[in-house]
Amino acid sequence: QKEVEQNSGPLSVPEGAIASLNCTYSDRGSQSFFWYRQYSGKSPELIMFIYSNGDKEDGRFTAQLNKASQYVSLLIRDSQPSDSATYLCAVTGNAGKSTFGDGTTLTVKP
Amino acid sequence: NAGVTQTPKFRILKIGQSMTLQCTQDMNHNYMYWYRQDPGMGLKLIYYSVGAGITDKGEVPNGYNVSRSTTEDFPLRLELAAPSQTSVYFCATNPGVNTEAFFGQGTRLTVV
């Protein structure tokens, strides 16, 4: 079992729809959880981070964390074509080391 | 404020050659990391450093070496390039444990 698993893609949604990206992790001692967006040929950039159970909202983005289920998700409301990218889930434990999932590629169709 | 700067951006190496990937940051962050990203995959940690003079292996360290003589610089050395090292390499920093990572632009390396 991989340490961080993301739902297999690619994921395609129409413009204006909600995109749901999921991630599970194996280390119960994980302390912080990040979602990065990576455009093709570019470096990852932070979208959201979450530390505590529950929901965290930032504009059109909502991160959800359930430590009991070892599950973290990212919802993108009112998806736009500019949201088309690969989304990487990262889980951080000791020494600040992050373990990344393989990413889910999202395509938003106009 | 440049953030995290990697050089070169692209490089083609022949099997057996060596090279150093440079990473410099002006954010005064203690934590620095080297990742590699193969096509369609996530980031795999090669080496990391929690401060000047301190380095440790990550998930995939074989074939690589690092040093951290200053807070700003964290070079990655490939001694005997192999085709399996063809990848995109990212340097990253963060200010502390459980904080956001800031990435350099990446180095696309091809070994032929």
Per-residue pLDDT of chain B (112 residues; tens, 9 = 90+): 689 999 999 999 999 999 999 999 999 999 999 999 998 889 999 999 999 999 999 999 999 999 999 999 999 999 999 999 999 999 999 988 788 899 999 999 999 9
Nearest C-alpha in A relative to B48: A97
The string over B47-71, giving b where at least 16 C-beta atoms fall within 10 Å of a residue's C-beta and e elsewhere, is: bbbbebeebeebebbeebebbbeeb
* Cβ separation B100–A101 shorter than 8 A: no
The strand pair at B107-111 and B10-13 is best described as parallel
Cβ-based contacts of B36 with chain A (< 8 Å): none
The strand pair at A11-14 and A104-109 is best described as parallel
